[in-house]
Amino acid sequence: MTLFNKPSGGSASWFKLGMVGLLVLSLALRFWGLGRFNSLVFDEVYYVKFAHDYLTQTPLFDGHPPLSKYLIAIGIWLGNQLPIGRETVNSLAGAEYSTWSYRWLNALTGSFIPLVVAGIAYQLSYRRSYAFLAGLFATLDGLFLVESRYALNNVYLVIFGLLGLWLLLLALEGRSTQRSLYLIGSGIFFGASASIKWNGLWFLFGAYGLWVVAWLLHWFQARFPHRSGLLLTDVAIETGQVDRTAHSPLQRLTQLAPWQIALNLGIVPAVFYRLIWIPHLKFNTTAGFWALQKQILEYHERVPNGPKVHPYCADWYSWILMLRPVAYYYKVEAQGGPLLSTDPAVRPGNTVIYDVHAIGNPLLWWLSTLAIVLVFLVLTQQLVRWLTVQTAEGQDDRRPVLNATELWLALFLGVNYAANLLPWVKVTRCTFLYHYMGASVFATMASAWLVDRWLHSKQPNLRTIGIIAIALIVLAFIFWLPIYLGLPLSPLEFRLRMLLPSWV
């Protein structure tokens, strides 16, 4: 049975309402209590100050490209024009800014990540239930929620990279001028992702990887034509009628000529990256563009690794099981303290803990790890079948492990996950769990794929497992929500949420 096919022409009103619901939920979670903690939380001590330097045209050096600081600076300027969010104001960045002013644009941007994830999922499968689940799971990811509520830069990196991939998928279905515009837009967003941090390039590497894989499969099919179905549409496979006019996304990738890839996914991102430095260079005149790139590289090469550098350094392999999340804020106070003096939830004499942990939804995270492992297993199984199948004249060998749509989806998730994770293997500097955010998106989409398969299985037990999985993910998100939002917890409540000793 084909689990992923184009939907019927029936009403999609439930899907539209579901997307609106996810957006409303994302906005509510990110904007509620956004001014909490009238301070600079975690790396806000760098990024808000850098944004202030851009607003005042003060020379600065930062170890990352400048785009995220431009955006935070724009958010501060716009936020200061509005009469809202003035309850918490401080001068920690060099001028009097409200916490709302330097956080609201991040919160708004992060709220749209679940919709972009759902859009990619739909474009991959044309299945509304899978797209909704992918968007829902992205909404229930605690790490993305925490990153969206502070003036940090990772949500910009991820959303720009995902938009680049989404536009690439749309380009595969466009024609002529429309395809060209989508490709140009894709290149711009890939360039924007790299203009946040250099590891934004990993999304572009994923796009390159898909193009190379498509050509390898194209060559394989040409070399072994009896092994049909590798690049054909589901309809062609299921009916047994090979329609040479039908084109799967893998086939359409091979229709992109090398010059199109070089122009749109090479030159366009590079030009965007170069242009984004112009405002920075106008008042930072001690070093030119290339000298700055060298300084940034040397800065990261000098950063060592280990707990002596930072207590929350975490090697790349520990991210997969979420062994070492990051505490962005931690404060213990008693009744009458500055945080608690107006908090009606605190009873006299109680001690409470305010904690913000950059940690994913544990059940979703571990299910996603299982799901992405399964993606690689079924891709390996499919490859082995292609390489070992023995065919005789007249024998029907068109029984792939995955149908063409599922093959495309699995390749997309697997290639992009690997592209966003494997470059970190050789990195020797201190890294953190949030560096896994780019890869984790595709693991989350894999978990949505797995759950959607369970929900649509003919076996009642699997359907029940799918429902239970969704319920447990929702309950886990609610349970850990206080440490995403920084809500007051008793010492016991805090300890209950620290499942592993390495989380503290």
164-180 pLDDT, tens digit each: 999 999 999 888 889 99
**Residue 37, both tokens:** 């903690």
pLDDT of residue 245: 37
Closest by CA position to 484, among listed 325, 256, 301: 325
Domain boundaries, the chain: 13-503
- Per-residue pLDDT averaged across 143-165, rounded? 97
Closest by CA position to 400, among listed 250, 211, 255: 250
Q: Is the pLDDT of residue 1 over 50?
A: no
Q: How confident is the model at residue 117 (pLDDT cuts 50, 70, 90)?
A: very high
Beta-carbon neighbour count of residue 58 at 10 Å? 13
pLDDT of residue 83: 81
Average the pLDDT over each of 104-118, 220-234, 236-250, 414-428 and give the range with the smallest value.
236-250
What is the Cβ-side half-sphere exposure of residue 491, based on CA atoms within 13 angstroms?
A: 5
Q: What is the residue-averaged pLDDT of the chain?
A: 87
pLDDT of residue 389: 64
**Per-residue pLDDT tens for 285-319?**
889 999 999 999 999 989 888 888 889 999 999 99
- Per-residue pLDDT averaged across 28-38, rounded? 93
pLDDT of residue 8: 41
pTM greater than 0.75 (yes/no): yes
Sign for the pseudo-dihedral over CA of 240, 243, 244, 245: negative
pLDDT of residue 174: 80
Beta-carbon neighbour count of residue 90 at 10 Å? 15
CA distances from 187 to 55, 146, 234, 421 (A): 28, 28, 30, 21
Residue 330 φ then ψ, to 5° = -150, 125
- Per-residue pLDDT averaged across 375-389, rounded? 84
Give the residue ranges of DSSP H helices in 90-175: 99-111, 113-125, 128-139, 142-148, 154-173
pLDDT of residue 279: 95
- Per-residue pLDDT averaged across 253-260, rounded? 91
**Per-residue pLDDT tens for 58-107?**
999 999 999 999 999 999 999 988 888 888 899 999 999 999 999 999 99
